[in-house]
Chains A and B, each alone.
Chain A
């Protein structure tokens, strides 16, 4: 469930990030919109979306989608705008078209930063998915809620919370590893950290 939300968000946010990196005047507008979405509390978001989309997993996926946009968008934008100017100049000087420049230079160089964004989004998403239980989406959240309702539910709560935390950590580690593999510009590994 979490993965779907993030995936859809990536499909939208990465092209959008590339777009606003190219037309930078648009970036403040897009970012403030994404920021507004991010500030809505998860529970409120789910409640509002539930009114429109009804109960179920789709609503949760959609809200995850909305939450994931900002980190991915921001990192895509940062990644692309941070590509060294000299790279672009030598690329253009060698006669690359705008698209070749994007495909062969900008995206590969920004990839690790973009992945950093996806990683952040993924961790947030796993947390939010737990709350999805309130609108009947199932998942590990169910177990936690059952624990809170039970008379002595600490063990049950743990049974839900620990796997959730584990999932988040494992996802983070996996994506972090992927990021490292793809990161060729070892010179500035702090960029992704900062952006994330």
Chain B
């Protein structure tokens, strides 16, 4: 329905507001562009109705390049809602709603009927038709703003932070109303916002932008589960990220990536120093290539500390090792069944990449109950209980 093909917008010759954006939008899809201010989301949207012209690349609607269309015709077939609402104060509500039909030279009766019909959609009474915008509340005004965009029944509607200027309660109401409306009318909607809650609530697909580029796109639940990078993670905000679903998690996500290790060829006295310095009861033994060999614990130390042996001679082997990428669910069961305290995580070369401890499992449980905030204070909780 709407295609962006390598679209670039350059302001003042140097600054790239939008950089090589390619995106396909399906018919009936609700797309939300989101990002911090200056990320190019509004520019991207305004290029669709050519309030801003593209510098490079093309945008097409139903396969037709918008540059080949008459500017005025193009805009009359695209609904447009802005944050400042922009109702005309010298026109009645009816005149405001039926402005585009008027531009399209619909007869008067038809325009009035259409305005009535639209008011019904948002459950406002007909008596509003002859009122002026200033007699309406902010929320009502923006409802009219939305109706105005719908008036000529355009297949595509652009919305630039339409609910941004409203108070939180009104905003919420309008969001819900609008989502319902969109579902029943099957319009394609391009929506710009910087409010993540709004994006997640409304969108079929969220496009996260930063510095003119798309950082990540996907359904709200996909993005919340799999943020592409730290920027997205931070932008979504910790409390919205979904981490309470162990079935999707792998061992890497909960393991401690920096366990206390000792070298296989160290002598025990050195190893004890390390264990003591880190205040842990167990240390993982590896060789020079970081290949996993086993572990030493308080018991080992207690038994052999008088004989100055090499660590390699006294280590114990782990009863269970897990490969990276193993689903967490499987591991939890193993730990519960075998009653082992620690479980090293290794990669294909048998190199140690982390360790799962009782504490890691406890985190999983806590997170699923209270969210993420409390945990992560223990970089050096490392292997085992202090």
Chain A residues in the interface with B (C-beta under 8 A): 84-87, 89-97, 100, 104-105, 108-109, 184-187
Can you name 23 A-B residue pairings with CB atoms under 8 Å?
A86-B85, A86-B86, A89-B51, A89-B82, A89-B84, A90-B145, A91-B86, A92-B75, A93-B49, A93-B51, A93-B78, A93-B158, A94-B76, A94-B80, A94-B99, A94-B103, A94-B148, A95-B75, A96-B103, A100-B103, A109-B88, A185-B89, A187-B89
Interface contacts (Cβ under 8 Å), in number, total: 66
Q: Is B90 a contact partner of A108 (Cβ separation < 8 A)?
A: yes
Task: Count contacts on B: residues with CB < 8 A to the other chain.
Answer: 28
Q: Does B169 contact A (CB under 8 A)?
A: no
Chain A residues with Cβ under 8 A from B87's Cβ?
A: 90
Residues of chain A within 8 A of B76, CB atoms compared? 94-95
B100 shortest CB reach to chain A, Å: 5
Contact (Cβ within 8 A) A87 B88: yes
Whether the pair A84, B100 counts as a contact (CB closer than 8 A) is: no
Is there contact, CB below 8 Å, between B80 and A86?
A: no
The answer to whether A187 and B134 touch across the interface, beta carbons within 8 angstroms, is: yes
Instruction: Tell me if B89 and A184 are in contact (CB < 8 A).
Output: yes
B73 at the interface (CB under 8 A from A): yes
Interchain nearest-CB distance for A1 vs B (Å): 34
Asked if B336 lies at the interface with its beta carbon under 8 angstroms from chain A, I say: no
Question: In the complex the two chains form, is A93's CB within 8 Å of B75's CB?
Answer: yes
A residues in contact with B49, CB < 8 Å: 93
Tell me if A89 and B86 are in contact (CB < 8 A). yes
What is the minimal beta-carbon distance from B364 to any residue of chain A, in angstroms? 49
* Secondary structure class of chain A's binding surface, majority of residues: helix
Please report the C-alpha to C-alpha distance between residue A95 and residue B101 in the assembled complex, in whole angstroms: 11
Closest CB in chain B relative to A92 CB, distance in Å: 6
The minimal Cβ–Cβ distance linking B56 to chain A, given in whole angstroms, is 23
A97 cross-chain contacts in B, Cβ below 8 A: 72
Interface centre among A95, A97, A105, A184 (most CB of B within 10 A): A95
Asked if B75 and A84 make an inter-chain contact with CB atoms under 8 angstroms apart, the answer reads no
Bound-state Cα–Cα, A156 to B80, Å: 66
Contact digits for B119-135, partner A, Cβ 8 Å, 1 yes 0 no: 00000000000001010
> For the complex, what is the distance from the CA of A104 to the CA of B80, rounded to whole Å?
18
Closest to A97 in B: B72
Cβ contacts under 8 Å, A86 to chain B: 82-86
Distance (whole angstroms) from the CB of B290 to the closest CB of chain A: 60
Contact with A along B236-271 (1 / 0, CB 8 A): 000000000000000000000000000000000000
Residue of B nearest to A182 (CB): B90
Contact present for B80 and A184 (CB under 8 Å): no
Q: Are A95 and B51 in contact (CB under 8 A)?
A: no
Interchain CB contact under 8 A, B89 and A90? no
A187 CA / B75 CA spacing, docked (Å): 29
Contact of B73 among A91, A93, A95 (CB under 8 A): A95
Nearest to A92 among chain B residues (CB) is B51
Q: CA separation between A185 and B77, bound complex, in Å?
A: 29
Give a binary string over B54-77; 1 marks a CB under 8 Å from any A CB, 0 the rest. 000000000000000001111111
Bound form: Cα–Cα A7–B90 in Å: 25
Task: Give 19 new A-B contacts, CB below 8 A, not counting A91-B88, A93-B80.
Answer: A86-B83, A86-B84, A86-B86, A87-B88, A89-B86, A90-B86, A90-B145, A93-B49, A93-B51, A93-B78, A94-B148, A95-B73, A95-B75, A96-B103, A100-B103, A109-B88, A109-B90, A184-B89, A187-B134
